[in-house]
Amino acid sequence: MNKKIIQKLILSAKKASQNSYSPYSNYKVGAALLTKSGKIFTGTNIENASFPAGMCAERVAIFKAISEGFKDFEALAIYAQGKHFPYPCGICRQVIAEFSTDLPIIIAKSVDKFTITNISDLLPFVFEFEKK
Query: Is 68 annotated as catalytic?
Result: no
Cα-based distances in Å from 75 to 6, 13, 23: 9, 12, 29
> Sheet holding 29-35: strands in order across?
40-44, 29-35, 73-80, 104-108, 114-118
Q: Which of 58, 68, 74, 130 is catalytic?
A: 58
Mind telling me the catalytic residues?
Answer: 58
